[in-house]
Amino acid sequence: MSLINDALRRAKAVQQSNPPPPDPNLEFRPVEPDRNPRSPLLLWAAGGAVVCAIGVLFLMLRSNEPVAAKPIASPQAAAPVTPAVVEPVTSVAEVATNTPPAESTNEVAAVAEPAPAPVPRLQAILFNPARPSAVVNGKTVFIGNTVANFRVTSITETTVTLVGETESHILTLE
C-alpha cells in the first residue's frame, strides 16, 4: 500500500511543479452550408402531387363517360274501352235447381317423392397433414364438416370419405 501512496504523492508533486498551460481562446468554425440541398425531397413531393393530379383527372374523366341509357317507353294511346254487355241475372233459386250436386271423389292425392339428394362431387383436395381440406360441391370442407347431408370422415392425398345416415361415399379425383 505504501507503494501506491508514494506514487500518488509523486504525481501530485509533478502536477504542482508543472501547471497546465492556460487555455487559449478557442474559436469555433463557421457554419458550413448544407451540402445536400432538399431538392430531392421537393422533387419527390412534386412527383407525388403530379401522380395524384393525374389519378384524380383520370377518375373524373372516367365517371363522365356517357352511360347507355335504356329507352323510356313512350306512352301509347289508350285503346277505346268497349262498354260492358249487361246480361240478365238469374235468381239463386233457378241456379240451385238447375245444377246437379258436385260429385265427391275419395281419391288420395299422390304424395310427391322428395327429389334425390345430389351426388357429392369432389372438385379438389388440399392435402396438409396437419389439417387436410377438400372442395366438395363447390364448398371447402374439413374433417368433421357436413356437406349434402354427408359427414366428412377422412381426407387423404387422393380420396375423401363421406358418411351419411344410410350410405357412404368414397370420392376420388377424376
Query: Per-domain residue ranges for the chain?
Result: 122-172
Q: What's the pLDDT tens digit per position in 79-103? A: 666 666 666 666 665 655 666 666 6
CB neighbours of 159 closer than 8 A, spacing ≥ 6? 170, 171, 172
pLDDT confidence of residue 28: 83
Segment 117-151, tens digit of pLDDT: 678 889 999 988 899 999 998 999 999 999 988 99
Is the entire prediction scored with pTM above 0.75? no
State the CB neighbour count (10 A cutoff) for residue 125: 19
Residue 132, SS3 per DSSP:
coil
* pLDDT number for residue 20: 65
The residue type of 105 is T
- pLDDT at residue number 14: 84
Instruction: Find cell 361415399 and name the residue.
Output: 169
